[in-house]
Structure 1
Amino acid sequence: MAARSGNAASQRSRWGRFGLLTSALNAESVAVPSQSELDEFRRNLRRFVERELLPFERKTMEEADRRAIQKKAQDAGFWLLDVPEEFGGQGLRLSGMVVFWHEISRTIAVPARDHSLFGPFVGPILLSLQGEQRRRYLDPVLAGEKIACFAQTEPDAGSDPASMRTRAVRKGAHYVLNGVKRFITHAEKADFAQVLAVTDPGKGARSGISCFLVDMETPGLKISAQHQTMMGDRPCEISFEEVEVAEENRVGAEGEGFAFAQKWLNEGRIRHGARACGVAERCLELTIDYAKQRRTFGEPLAERQGVQWILADCFTELHATKLMVRDAAEKLDAGLDARAETFMVKTYGDEMGFRVADRCLQLHGGIGLTTELPIEKFWRDQRSFMITEGPTEVLRTALAKLLLRGMAS
């Protein structure tokens, strides 16, 4: 695993080369990077993806290859992008991160749920740690010495945290955890888990759930199953049986777990939308090229009105999603309540990405079903995102509730 590179000053110098002003990206105010700065960032990142990553779409990336690419990402300034400067990162706000997520999602060389080629995924929970918790958990993750996983989903509580059954009962200076978490990504290689558990059933999800940092080697914790998915990954099931967790391993106050998770999920929904844009854009580019070259019944596919309309619809839906993603990111950067926007971004974005991948696969015919092209992998991944991290049906219901309460406009 690559070690943490350089200091904040050396990382900031990279942005100068790309024309991205750190003063705009990291200001405490609501300032956001200009469009010209984001465009320059996009161009440089796209060149990196095409030069360093696209060649691995049809061959295995070995560990030595991973380390080499990580080093190149560090040298190019694409390392710890969303980590605040005070922790040695670059402090890129969501308005910039959506560009990053979009561009790296144009290739299947980067796993859909693993962006560690560009630094460890930290997330808002770990970034909130202070003191001894920061020393034991955040700093080692940033240095590439530890890996974390996030454990919220349960067999009977996927999109409904109020149905969570994992309990954390306080006994003196520690808590005792019992329960099961399912579909936990990277649990098999994690050093610790960020676990959400019920501490007060009477207070419901919003104030009855707490967050704990639990070392994976703690007695009573075990990986009880792994599930092979159609996407190629193997998320885990984690069992907790009388697992003792010290009080100092609770993150924040008791009952604040749901708030931590919501911030994680809000940013995650925007990441889904940005990823869908990258997927749709790449699929559309491949299909446009193919339609110009492929001849059937004496003429190119591109000359057929039915094909032209499909391409036009794909481009229109992609453009609409780009605007939605940008709008949601800017509102969250400004500190506004953007729940409605994030619900729409994930629902519309994930479905758009799948529709475009599906249409493009269809237009490619038999060759689209092969692994010679990345479209079939995009298709499988995008289908999964309509279920994971918030099914589209659940998010539509959540959006409708905001509308009915007059909390969305």
Structure 2
Amino acid sequence: MRYDPASGELGGTATISATATQDLARFNFDLARLKASKVTVDGQAATSAADGDELVVTPAAGIRTGTAFTVVVDYSGKPEALNNEALGVGGWLRTKDGAFALGQPESASTWFPVNDHPSDKATLALSMTVPDGTEAIGNGVPGPRETAGGWTTWTWKEQKPLASYLAFVAIGQYRVQTSTHKGKPMVIAIPESLPPTSNAARAMARTGEVADYLETQFGPYPFDAYGGVVLDDDRVGYALETQSRPVYGNTFFKGGADVSVVAHELAHQWYGDSVALDRWQHIWLNEGFATYAEWLWSEHEGGRTVQQSFDRVYAAFDWSTPPGDPGAKRLFSDAVYIRGAMTVHALRKAMGDKAFFALLKSWPADNRDGTVTTEDFIAAAEKASGKDLGDLFEQWLFGKTRPTY
């Protein structure tokens, strides 16, 4: 890709390796607000047409089920974010010195053609060309940089499959710190608008420490790189578990070097990234465990114990939204995050610590690089505990009244 911050123009060539899961006369990619100028399938010209936020590709010949094929799409335009009334703004946002692409559940389709659904994970390599003096940070392991004619090309490679919403790019003026942690690259990017001693920088400096602690709870770190990116932009009042390199809005650090949010997003590297959702209704498996990781980290740091964190929210919680199927408008509600974490703790009490903490490691190990459902997790928990846990999950995930505890 090539991006010009001055004009806001993005041009790209996407090469997609795919396999047909049915006989195909045509197929679609998600591609929002950008126009394809040329499409080939296995080197042969294909026709393409826009259909809303989708690109419909008709190859010269049909593709049989099970056949591997390669699509190359040349495209360009001024990318825009998607504004979903129920889910908020996600995708490409232009800034004074560059841009960033970020968002959940929709983001990737605003900057490259993709099957923008968490069940279809893929590896990703990014080559982003920007004006000299501008940084471009992405997922995974950094590659060589090349400079020519006033432009610099940054390269990044994520060799473990990722859900499309976990892909990101941040372009602008950043201080990029590259080091090594446990033999893997650690890349931290802090906006130049924030001082080197800022709360954000101090929190990011603990990334390796937090990841190491979470390894003791969840098993080996699942990716080939570490890091974090901070955005100094009032439009980003959240953090996102972008694979191998979470992105944090600076709003989290205005009151101090808050490490709990770092624990949350790094926990997602196991629960949500390496082990991803088959459908969005199962999002409590991401957010419940990441919130529980915050509670574990607090206890580890000498703050509230996990039980105290549970008691604090259990006493006066609104139980009307079931986290096991919250609906689109409540996909990011307290029911998913906090009641999800309470569900995890109720499970711990039912299983006992030995079986529970063994499950915390076996679940991401057994499902690494895959996608899962709530039913998959219930089955794993019952196998690990040797107990019928149907009533527990029915109350905590699907009930609309206070669960017994």
Is TM more than 0.5 here?
no
Per chain length, whose mean CA-contact separation is higher, i.e. which structure has more relative contact order (CA < 8 Å, sep 6+)? 1
Q: TM-score, normalised by structure 2?
A: 0.29
Q: TM-score, normalised by structure 1?
A: 0.29
Q: Which has the higher strand share?
A: 2
